[in-house]
Amino acid sequence: MKKDKVVEIEEAVVRFAGDSGDGMQLTGSLFSDSTAFAGNDFATFPDFPSEIRAPQGTVSGVSGFQIHFGHKSIYTTGDLADVLVAMNPASLIANLKWVKNDAILIVNSDEFTDKNLEKAGYLTNPLDDETLSGHLVVQVPLNTLTYEAVKELDLDNKSVMKSKNMFALGIIFYLFNRDYTKTYSFFENKFKKNPLVVEANKKVLQAGYNFAETLEVIKNTFRIEKAELEKGRYRNVTGNQATAWGLMAAAERSGRNLFLGSYPITPATDILQELAKHKQFTCITQQAEDEIAGIVSTIGASYAGSMAVTTTSGPGLSLKSEAIGLAVMTELPMVIVDVQRGGPSTGLPTKSEQSDLMQALYGRNGDAPVIVIAATSATDAFYSAYEAAKLAMEHMTPVILLTDGSIGNGSEVFKIIKTADLPPINPPIAKANDPEYKPYKRNPQTLARQWAIPGTPGLRHRLGGLEKEDITGNVSHDPLNHEKMMQLRQEKVDKVADFIPELKIDGNEGADLLVVGWGSTYGVLMTTVEEMQNEGKSVSMVQFKHIMPLPKNVREVFSKFKKIVVCENNMGQFVNYLRMQLPEFRYEQYNKVQGLPFMVSELKQKFESLLNE
């Protein structure tokens, strides 16, 4: 029974949920690819436990993947889902709070056995009682149908069950009118060595699609128009991948080799893994014995003339603190990427948070200023990483780039650019035998010292963590020299404000409320503020990407608003930083520290109450 009715919609949120072994991340990313081919804009949000495969059927083992896609530009991963795929009772119970009131629930009814219901913590079967009322429940015996689909193939039980996620995907493809054959090439690539598995996956996917077609409960399918994106070539990137690519692009444009010294840590490891793949770009990755060795080898490589990078997440940044001080003192360029996660301590390692800001700004002994910038989205991570590297090298200083789990693991549509169109990078490399060279002589515009690279004739010099004499760089215990150097190091960072874009107000100057965010909250703040503006509310926003130094015009911008609210996923670190930097303004604050992104709905409520105060 082919449905004739195709409903045109603006956007949708689909959430895939199953056991850690059910392949939900893969299912989600194949659906993202298909969404991309369909020309929609989208953003994704993977949500998985810190265990690899917690016991099957339990809530702790549930792994989720959410995608928000649409015809307009998509800035968030979606508050609540329109469609939920639940591969077992545990995924249903764990995810029901994340779906809309009238969502479509596709559940694998084969798994709703007494044992599984008990494991999930259901006292009664939700498929039989009122639990799901209001929703459109599509019960699918996924196991049975998957077996059915491949019964003529000579496949072992385990392999069959491994492909049942494709049956679910087939259903969703049908629901959104997608061409499932586009996914075939993925199978052909991934299971190159096992044609039987390729065949099975194709069959199962197709079976799912066809099955959906026959389903009575599904009254209509949905179509979302191609997004109104700028003309050009596009691809799908995760934030971590984009970060890696931004760094590689900066290495290419600056003519330096890239060196990465890093120690694996969730959710930053992907950057290391991505860079490790690209030795052909003379991208040297060293998996260090720990985070300290990671950054210290980075300092060594920077001294030796590489575009040097270290990547980590919160606890790893803690371990790097002492060495960041050495980088500050030696004034060597490097990018330190912190993909923030839920803290403190080991905290919530697979959840996202913005709580390393203070650590990035101040987490080391002595007054040791560095540039701090924060990426605002997965695609922006590309540009932020590029800019971080450019600033590091041109200003001869470490730069801390803050992203977070939601950016790093999330994916978005990325417009492919030409590397040549990126701004040039010109590190101040000292010339061989330059008689004027002095290790701590500075460029008057940037206050950057020169980069004199070992092996270069005529520039031998020594660096180190003891206080250095101005100009000569000799060790100095002189009291006034120390004070001068403290000021110079701070001024060098402050002067970067001359080289970064000014803050841009989204909305009217002088609106009743200025919403302030930084980093990854951009999408959700933006969506909220735009919605409210469309509703006629007097709300504007600014999103900070440059944190140390702040853009030059902040004071001017803030002074145009009577009420300022700073929103962030921590206990109030940026708002406190603003209180320090711009004490003349009064700031309201709104914080969410749940390891989860803000929702448009909760932000709206907060802003409205502020407007009504």
Partner 1 sequence: MEQKVEPKAITLSKEDFGSDQMVKWCPGCGDHAILRSVENVFPKVGEQLGYSKEDFVVVSGIGCSSRFPYYMNTYGIHGIHGRPAPLAMGIKLANPKLSVWLISGDGDSMAIGGNHFIHIARRNPDINYLMFNNKIYGLTKGQYSPTTPKGQKTKTSPQGSFEMPFNPGELVIGARGKFFARALDSNPKLMQEVFLAAALHHGASIVEILQNCVIFNNKIHALITNKETKDDNQIVLEAGKPMLFGKEKEKGLKLEGTKLKVVTLGKDGVTLDDILVHDPTTDDAGIHMMLASMAPPEFPAAFGVIRSVESETLEDAVWNSVEHEKATSPIKNMDDLMNSGNTWEIE
Residues 289-348 interacting with ligand TPP (rule: CB under 6 A): 291, 315-316, 319, 322
Interacting partner of 55 out of a second copy, partner 1, ligand TPP, none (Cβ under 5 to 8 A depending on kind): partner 1
- Phi/psi for 549 (5° steps) reads -75, 165
Q: Which residues pair with 596 in a beta bridge?
A: none
Q: 53 or 555: whose CB is closer to ligand SF4?
A: 53
How many of the other CB atoms lie within 10 Å of CB of 36? 20
Under 8 Å between Cβ of 501 and 384:
no
Residue choice 465, 476, 499, 589 for contact with partner 1 (CB under 8 A): 465
Query: Per CB under 8 A, does 356 bind a second copy?
Result: yes
Place of tokens 């490790």: 276
Query: Per CB under 8 A, does 571 bind a second copy?
Result: yes
Q: Please, what is the minimum distance in Å from the beta carbon of residue 53 to ligand SF4?
A: 6
Under 8 Å between Cβ of 38 and 254:
no
Q: Please, what is the minimum distance in Å from the beta carbon of residue 411 to a second copy?
A: 22
Place of tokens 């090298």: 393
Residue choice 6, 7, 37, 53 for contact with ligand SF4 (CB under 6 A): 53
Query: Per CB under 6 A, does 55 bind ligand SF4?
Result: no
Interacting partner of 49 out of ligand TPP, ligand SF4, a second copy, none (Cβ under 5 to 8 A depending on kind): a second copy
- Residues 42-71, interacting with partner 1 (CB under 8 A): 50-56, 58, 60-61
Q: Please, what is the minimum distance in Å from the beta carbon of residue 51 to ligand SF4?
A: 7
Query: Per CB under 8 A, does 365 bind a second copy?
Result: yes
Q: Which residues pair with 404 in a beta bridge?
A: 340
Measured between alpha carbons, how far is 202 from 463 in angstroms, rounded to an integer?
A: 61
Applying CB under 6 A, the site for ligand TPP has a residue count of 8
Place of tokens 């932000």: 603
- Provide the token pair at 173: 């493809």
- Provide the token pair at 6: 């195709």
How many of the other CB atoms lie within 10 Å of CB of 252? 18
Distance from the Cα of residue 594 to its chain's centroid: 17
Planar angle of CA 450, 454, 460, nearest 5 degrees: 75
Which DSSP string do the residues of 268-293 spell out, in sequence order?
A: THHHHHHHHT-GGGTEEEEE-SSHHH
Residue choice 265, 295, 373, 515 for contact with ligand TPP (CB under 6 A): 265
Query: Per CB under 6 A, does 420 bind ligand SF4?
Result: no
Of 355, 353, 360, 349, nearest in space to 401 by CA: 360
- Residues 74-113, interacting with a second copy (CB under 8 A): none
Interacting partner of 344 out of ligand SF4, partner 1, a second copy, none (Cβ under 5 to 8 A depending on kind): a second copy
Under 8 Å between Cβ of 264 and 272:
yes
Binding pattern for the stretch 437-466 against a second copy, x by CB under 8 A and - elsewhere: ---------------------------xxx
Under 8 Å between Cβ of 161 and 197:
no
Q: Please, what is the minimum distance in Å from the beta carbon of residue 348 to partner 1?
A: 14
- Provide the token pair at 599: 């929702």
Interacting partner of 418 out of ligand SF4, a second copy, partner 1, none (Cβ under 5 to 8 A depending on kind): partner 1
Query: Per CB under 8 A, does 317 bind a second copy?
Result: yes
Residue choice 129, 179, 188, 289 for contact with partner 1 (CB under 8 A): 289
Residue nearest to ligand TPP (CB): 265
Q: 270 or 353: whose CB is closer to ligand SF4?
A: 270
- Residues 30-69, interacting with a second copy (CB under 8 A): 49-50
Under 8 Å between Cβ of 89 and 116:
yes
Measured between alpha carbons, how far is 412 from 424 in angstroms, rounded to an integer?
A: 26
Burial label for 493, CB within 10 Å (0-12, 13-18, 19+), is: buried
Q: How does strand 539-544 pair with strand 334-340? A: unpaired
Interacting partner of 435 out of a second copy, partner 1, ligand SF4, none (Cβ under 5 to 8 A depending on kind): none
Q: Is the dihedral of CA 67, 25, 229, 353 positive or negative?
A: positive
Query: Per CB under 6 A, does 52 bind ligand SF4?
Result: yes
List of residues 6+ apart from 521 with CB closer than 8 A: 354, 543, 567, 568, 569, 597, 598
Residues interacting with ligand SF4, by CB under 6 A?
52-53
Residues interacting with ligand TPP, by CB under 6 A?
263-265, 291, 315-316, 319, 322
Residues interacting with a second copy, by CB under 8 A?
49-50, 313-315, 317-319, 321-322, 325-326, 328-329, 340, 342-349, 351, 353, 355-356, 358-359, 361-368, 464-467, 477, 479-480, 482-483, 486, 489-490, 570-571, 573, 576-577, 579-580, 583, 586-587, 592-596
